[in-house]
Amino acid sequence: MKKAWKILAAISMSLALGACSGGSTSSAAGSASEQPASESTASLFKAGTYEGEEAGFGGENSPIHVSVTLSDDAIESIEYTADAETPTVGGAALPQLVEAVLAAQSTNIDGVSGATFTSNGFFGAVNEALESAGVDPASLEPIETETVVEDIEKTADVVVAGAGGAGMTAAITAAQNGKSVIILEKASVPGGNSSYATGGMNAANTHYQAEQNIEDSAELFFEDTMEGGHQLNNPDLVHTLAENSSAAIDWLDSIGAPLSDVGQAGGASVPRQHRPVNDEGKVLPVGTFLVEHLSSTCDEMGIEIITDAKVDEVLMEDGAAVGLHAVGKDGQNIVIHASNVVVTTGGFGSNPELIVKYRPDLEGYVSTNAPSITGDAIEFLGNAGADFVDLDQIQIHPTVVQEDGSLISESLRGDGAILLNKEGKRFCNEILTRDVVSANVIAQPDGYAWLIADENMASVSTVIEKYVNKGYMIKCDTTADLAELIGCDEETLQASLDTWAAACAAKEDAEFGRDAFDAMKTDLAEAPYYAVKISPGIHHCMGGVKINTNAEVVGTNGEVIPHLFAAGEVTGGVHGGNRLGGNAVADFVVFGRIAGTNASK
């Protein structure tokens, strides 16, 4: 999709930008007014339209492309094509970036918070276009404008901290109950960690499972989650999660966000990971799909989202929550008075200091989290008297690209992908819980492995398509090509693939005891293959603020804090010592709805 943004009036730039190709405002011989007429009237730019492109979040195979139109003295307009950028993150950031560059007449400005890859790619593409016009982008000093900073003070029935999956779910639920709602979001775009989710949502006894003849129950969901969490979970919260999961799927149907494909994730006894598909039947990343639908539903319902608003205080009166205070990006105070407060600010996976504080052994691990997920709520909820649980329970995910912390979805292993070490050998049951698989990867020579998929999987997955476009997954046309990529002996690799194909045919994995063969889309018997090098990375904080089954925040005295609710990764107790893949989305939808419902009372 191409977007165009234009300046309606020409802006004189000669004094603001300083010396650059084509003109000068001063020299050693005297001021600009003393220069010969030919120099003082020289054009700043060579008028015309110039092209540029640079890799954003979509990767080198699908770069951001821009067309920059210059007049003699201004950047007049920027058009862009960026189909591979995540719609809810980079797609939302691009209009802001265009507007910012046009206003500053420079790329030497800050990017959009929460969209670092897209920001860097956009600036790089614009710089390339400017350079092709003979302009040095580094010489273009941003126009300084006076910013009038005004404090914001508003009132609503419900105020929500955090516009991720849990926050928007809670806000929509409260609005459906007739309440006015305002959301405060730290980043420049909604989504948070929810936008990064690639797998699906666990739910039991759903109509989609019934339509696909999958037998499941809330009790089995409960048992799997407790076992996966090493029995450290709060059983009451897990029962609530499982028993409300089917209704949560129905609720997503009702807002136009169906999760109709059912696959299997690690630690699940049966297929219960619900995923979205496109019109072609290809599986989509669940996070961007849900964030896009939740965001549009917020817009339709008139829910105000104030971005660049970092919450730092729960306003309290007589021991009860009565609103939130936040600080805007320009330092303004933002105060929202409300009858009920919902906190959904996520965990602290992007805060190395807190990670090391609670888990010193994880120092130096790459993180899969959004940059804004830094655990701010630990301080401001603590100041409000909240209690916390399991803060040392931090999950590492086994399949993470180490260069930038990008997650390779667990759903691929559920669909039939396997893990091979540097010698081309399988080494574990790939669909065990994340902590177990991570430990097995770390134990391999040099602490890494290769995830292997094939064309049967790639042909029905936009997730794999995205990984290929970003350069993470490499297509190998033959087994020999795959062996060369891994750096292993071809005969050893072929033996591993043959053994696995035979296990799929027999539906028995004699080597490592993997099962759930009926949920797989392939036996990996034939090339071409798709491979990505992975190692573990920090992924999820199971610990957080203590809540009850009503999503009410519990204080250090054991009593609930009146009118204060929380949902999603900011809370603790649901996942225990290890979160199962697919349970994070279930968590934010189920408890987001509960928080929104009870905050409406």
- What phi-psi label fits residue 557: left (phi over 0), alpha (psi between -120 and 50 degrees) or beta? alpha
In order of 1, 237, 309, 561, the CA distances from 544 in angstroms are 40, 13, 21, 16
Distance in angstroms (rounded) separating the CA atoms of residues 282 and 292: 17
Cα separation, 162 vs 435, whole angstroms: 28
* Cα-based torsion angle of the residue sequence 484, 488, 492, 495 in order, rounded to the nearest 10 degrees: -50
> Is 275 a known active-site residue?
no
Max Cα–Cα distance, the chain, nearest Å: 89
DSSP 524-567: --SS-EEEEEEEEEEEEE--EEEB-TT-EEEBTTSSEEEEEEE-
Contact 407, 397 (CB under 8 A): yes
Inter-residue contact 53 to 25 (CB < 8 Å):
no
54: left (phi over 0), alpha (psi -120 to 50) or beta: beta
CA–CA separation, 50 and 124 (whole Å): 13
**Phi, psi angles (nearest 5°) of residue 540:** -145, 140
Tokens of 490: 């071809």
- Catalytic option among 434, 514, 579, 593: 434
Classify 120 as helix, strand or coil.
helix
Residues 126 and 65: their CA atoms lie apart, in Å, by: 9
Structure tokens at 144: 């300084």
Q: Are 367 and 349 in contact (CB under 8 A)?
A: yes
3 state DSSP class of 376: helix
Instruction: Count CA atoms closer than 13 A to 494's CA, side-chain side.
Output: 7
Contact 567, 166 (CB under 8 A): yes
- 516's torsion region: left (phi>0), alpha (psi -120 to 50) or beta? left
Tell me which residue has tokens 């000669």: 14
Burial of 507 from C-beta contacts in 10 A (0-12 / 13-18 / 19+): exposed
Tell how strand 304-306 and strand 181-184 pair up.
parallel
Beta bridge partners of 401: 406
Cite the active site residues: 434
